[in-house]
Structure 1
Amino acid sequence: MTSAVYGQADAFAIAAYISARRADPCWSRNDVRIATPDGEPVQGYGGHTIHPDCAVADANDSGVILIPPIFKDIEQTLAQETALVAWLASLPARSTLRASSCTGAFLLAEAGVLAGRRVTTNPAFSTLFTQRYPALRLELDERIVDDGMVICAGATTSYLYLAIHVIDRLAGHDLAVATAKALSIDRHPDSQRPYFLFIAPRDHGDDKVLMLQTWIEAHHDKSIGLDDMVAAAGMSVRNLNRRFVAATGLSPRQYLRRVRIEAAKRLLERRGATLDRVAGAVGYGDTRAFVRAFCEVAGLSPGQYRQRFRES
């Protein structure tokens, strides 16, 4: 993700500018470099070229390593980048701060850097992350998880919050706040849960589960119970739950709730619909039950969500 690489570099350049204008040497000892595997330019997401300052082999003396997001096939990338993974694993754990943005956490996990630590990443890829690294503890609500010498930042533009966090770690709170103000971002970001985009996994290879997913998405606006889903799937309750969780990472009930709340978000983003109407349109006969479910999934009340994301 090209913007993550140059966005963080810009944030650090702004910190250096502010520090110099204040005649404060707190940032002067930091040398920011962009590294690629062989020191040659690489193509970032969108076809934009990233020009490095050095090869990763010349960055062994770095005190901080920042890993940008992977914006292509993650498993293919991990298979291709074994040398980079090995390099990340070889860095001295006690003296090298390693940090990732978004799906960059997969590279740290692959290197064994995240073992025994709290982790966050892009929620859209949480199912794949959990499947590959079931022992790791995901904290998807949090934008920044600082676990000492390892830091993980959440989805996409969290790379800027990570840059501010690193500035705080290296140069102190005052410079971090000043840089955050220059970038017009909050110093302490709120939960990333309101920004979750539910993208249902459909490439799991279980045709019966896929059929039920399609059925749920077509009937989510009606009153649906587990018996209805069992009948639609043509499986026993036990078999349905086992296969559905294995394929999607969610139980059928959880999947139904996520589909309903995602549909409710789209309605709340538009003008005019009352809360009762929104609740009814996504299958909730009880508005209070809808509000509770919405808060649990989105981390905001329906009214707060509408205020943040409604049409202008």
Structure 2
Amino acid sequence: MTSAVFGQMDAFAIAAYIAGRREDSSWNSHDVRIATPDGDPVRGYGGHLIEPHCALSSAGDSDVVLIPPIFNDIEQTLAQERGLVAWLTSFPANSTLLASTCTGAFLLAEAGVLDGRRVTTNPAFSALFEQRYPAVRLALDERLVDDHMVICAGATTAYLNLAIHVIDRLAGHDLAVSTAKALSIDRHPESQRPYFMFIAPRDHGDEKILQLQNWIEVHHQKPIGLEEMTDAAAMSVRNLNRRFLSATGLSPQQYLRRVRIETAKRLLEGRAIAVDRVAEQVGYRDTRAFIRAFGAVAGLSPGEYRRRFRALPNISSP
């Protein structure tokens, strides 16, 4: 992700500029470098060229290493980047501050750096992460997790939150706050749960469960209980629960709730519909129950979610 590389470089340059204007020496000793495996330019996601300062072999003296997000097939990238993984493994424990943004956490995990630690990453890839690294404890609600000498930031633009946090660790709170203000970002990032997108798993190979997923998505606005779902699937309750959980990672009731709340998000982002009407349109007859369910999934009330993500009104040209 090219913007993560240059965005963090810009954040550190702004910190250096502010420190220089204040005659503050707290940032003077920091030399920020981009390193690639062999020191040659690489193309980031979108085809943009990234010119490095050095090769990994010349960056072994680093006090801090920041890993940007992977914007490619993750498992294919991990297989291709064995050299980078080996380089990360070469740092003695607790000698270097290692940090990642988003799916960059996969590279730290592949190097064994995250074993036994609390970390965060992009929630869209949490199932793959948990499958590959069962010794790592995911805290997906958190946008940034600092575990002493390992820091993980959440999805995509959390790279700026990570940059500000690193500035705080290296040069102090005052410079971090000033840099955050210059970048117009919050010093203490909120939960990343409001940004979760529910993408239903469909490549599990269980055709009957896939049919029930489709049925739920068509009928979710109606009153649906477990009995209706077992009838639609022509399965016993026990068999349905077992197969649905195995295929999707969710119970049928959890899946229904996620479908309803994701539909409610789209409605709240669009037209100015009253919350009780939104609740009704996604299958909730009790508005209070809808608000509780929405908050549990999205981390915000429906009204707060609307204020954050609503469409801007059309502005007519003069």
Could you tell me which runs of 5 or more consecutive residues in structure 1 were left unpaired when the two chains were aligned.
none
The one-letter code sitting in structure 2 at the alignment partner of 1:261 is: I
Counterpart position of 2:212? 212
Counterpart position of 2:167? 167
Q: For residues 141 and 63 of structure 2, what CA distance do their matches in structure 1 show?
A: 28
Counterpart position of 1:93? 93
Q: Secondary structure at the match of 2:46?
A: helix
Could you tell me which runs of 5 or more consecutive residues in structure 2 were left unpaired when the two chains were aligned.
313-318
Q: For residues 65 and 206 of structure 1, what CA distance do their matches in structure 2 show?
A: 42
Counterpart position of 2:199? 199
Q: How many residues align?
A: 312
Q: For residues 75 and 103 of structure 1, what CA distance do their matches in structure 2 show?
A: 11
Q: For residues 55 and 251 of structure 1, what CA distance do their matches in structure 2 show?
A: 48
What stretches of structure 1 move > 4 A for 4+ residues in a row? none
| Contact kept in structure 2, 1:5 and 1:68, CA below 8 Å | yes
Counterpart position of 1:274? 274
| Pair 1:264 & 2:264 matched | yes
Q: For residues 54 and 108 of structure 1, what CA distance do their matches in structure 2 show?
A: 20
Q: Secondary structure at the match of 1:45?
A: coil
CA RMSD of aligned residues (A): 1.1
% identical equivalent positions: 77
Q: For residues 135 and 6 of structure 1, what CA distance do their matches in structure 2 show?
A: 32
Q: For residues 234 and 90 of structure 2, what CA distance do their matches in structure 1 show?
A: 51
Counterpart position of 1:287? 287
Higher mean alpha-carbon deviation, 158-167 vs 222-231, is at 222-231
Q: For residues 113 and 233 of structure 2, what CA distance do their matches in structure 1 show?
A: 41
Q: For residues 135 and 231 of structure 1, what CA distance do their matches in structure 2 show?
A: 39
Q: For residues 117 and 172 of structure 1, what CA distance do their matches in structure 2 show?
A: 25
Alignment of 1:114-153 (within 5 A): 114-153=114-153
The one-letter code sitting in structure 1 at the alignment partner of 2:153 is: A
Counterpart position of 2:70? 70
Deviation at 1:219, TM superposition (A): 1.2
| Contact kept in structure 2, 1:260 and 1:283, CA below 8 Å | yes
Q: For residues 50 and 251 of structure 1, what CA distance do their matches in structure 2 show?
A: 44
Counterpart position of 1:225? 225
Q: For residues 169 and 42 of structure 1, what CA distance do their matches in structure 2 show?
A: 29
Q: For residues 201 and 40 of structure 1, what CA distance do their matches in structure 2 show?
A: 38
Q: For residues 235 and 247 of structure 2, what CA distance do their matches in structure 1 show?
A: 15
| Contact kept in structure 2, 1:127 and 1:248, CA below 8 Å | no
Q: Secondary structure at the match of 1:152?
A: strand
Deviations 1:204-225 (A, max 9, x none): 2222222222121111111111
Q: If the length of structure 1 is used for normalisation, what is the TM-score?
A: 0.97
Deviations 1:185-238 (A, max 9, x none): 010011111111111222222222222221211111111111222222233322
Alignment of 1:172-187 (within 5 A): 172-187=172-187
